[in-house]
Structure 1
């Protein structure tokens, strides 16, 4: 699964669902991601393209509420790709997610690069009229690291109204579990979209 980086995630506007398309730097469609709403548990479906005719992956939460929530990533064949667990207590200051492999071994972490961005965005967003511009001023980034602290990917929120655009930059040339990491970054986009 070798891609042309950076990758681009762009949300659709005007739909009742939380949908975005993932494309590579040449504009080729990679995935179409849809978060099911009005369900008891958070469920995210990843399709081959916007026709939604070929389901590739499902990400399903283990809990009804967002407290130590864990998403299991499953391939359409039933194979577990991995899991993502949100560390809620630490997330009050800095968003942190633990990535587990298929056998529940914690091997990577995604953390918010600069927690001050979230704080300033919250304050600025409360200012009448000007608060609507916070999406152009405060845009968080998230770093995916291995257990040795090596930075592998960076997810950046780009300036835009409604938090529509994100980019994924590959920071290390070493072979990595690209399938699992991209799915985890897609989940982070949906969970953290309202920040910045």
Structure 2
């Protein structure tokens, strides 16, 4: 469905958490914006930065960040799928379960290395030097199916502001690109400040 690799590049000059998603040819696929000052996490996905055509809504079922489930709906208000953050697993490695519209677990997103997470958290606390952690410790996340086949990998690219991510397809196995990419876009907003 998509021309990989995909690139997620965050805007720097805004107070909101928003980024553009482009394909390998540089075509804009989505413009993603986290709604600010909301009690529940809410992400909107548009066709471009003009925000004149809404494609998807991704909204949390809870106010607090504990075992949240996000529902992804398209512009016709149909449920595309769900993303469940595994809070306890995420203390060690960021972990999300991707579910179909009925709530059946179909894919998993997991951080590759707990060590990178641990070292980054220590390095980031060092005054002045910690600001450079975005160039040194860059986490990777992998999407697998229920058989453990690796489908897609997302890598945080070295940058001062932590603003660039690349999504690479790893397998020719059929998978639901739409749900996987939308789930990665949600996850990248939540995990951006790491690494």
Which structure 2 residues correspond to residues 1-40 of structure 1 after superposition, within 5 A? Answer: 2-40=1-39
Q: Aligned partners of 1:194 and 1:128: how far apart in 2? A: 16
Give deviations 1:82-107, integer Å, cap 9, x for gaps.
00001101111111101100111011
- Using the TM superposition, give the Cα deviation of residue 183 of structure 1 relative to its aligned residue in structure 2, in angstroms: 0.2
- Using the TM superposition, give the Cα deviation of residue 162 of structure 1 relative to its aligned residue in structure 2, in angstroms: 1.6
What is residue 58 of structure 2 aligned with on the other side? 59
Q: Aligned partners of 1:179 and 1:128: how far apart in 2? A: 41
TM (norm. structure 2) is 0.98
- Using the TM superposition, give the Cα deviation of residue 161 of structure 1 relative to its aligned residue in structure 2, in angstroms: 1.2
What is residue 42 of structure 2 aligned with on the other side? 43
Cα RMSD after superposing both structures:
0.7
Q: Aligned partners of 1:136 and 1:142: how far apart in 2? A: 17
- Give the secondary-structure state (helix, strand or coil) at the position aligned to 1:133: helix
What is residue 172 of structure 1 aligned with on the other side? 171
Q: Aligned partners of 2:63 and 2:17: how far apart in 1? A: 18
What is residue 72 of structure 2 aligned with on the other side? 73
TM (norm. structure 1) is 0.98
Report whether the alignment pairs 1:185 with 2:184.
yes
Q: Aligned partners of 1:90 and 1:180: how far apart in 2? A: 22
Which structure 2 residues correspond to residues 90-105 of structure 1 after superposition, within 5 A? Answer: 90-105=89-104
- Give the secondary-structure state (helix, strand or coil) at the position aligned to 2:132: helix
Where does structure 2 lack aligned partners over 5 or more consecutive residues? Answer: none
Where does structure 1 lack aligned partners over 5 or more consecutive residues? Answer: none
**Count of aligned pairs:** 195
On the 8 A contact 2:29/2:47 being kept in 1, the answer is yes
What is residue 131 of structure 2 aligned with on the other side? 132
- Using the TM superposition, give the Cα deviation of residue 115 of structure 1 relative to its aligned residue in structure 2, in angstroms: 1.0
Q: Which runs of 4+ in 1 moved over 2 A?
A: none
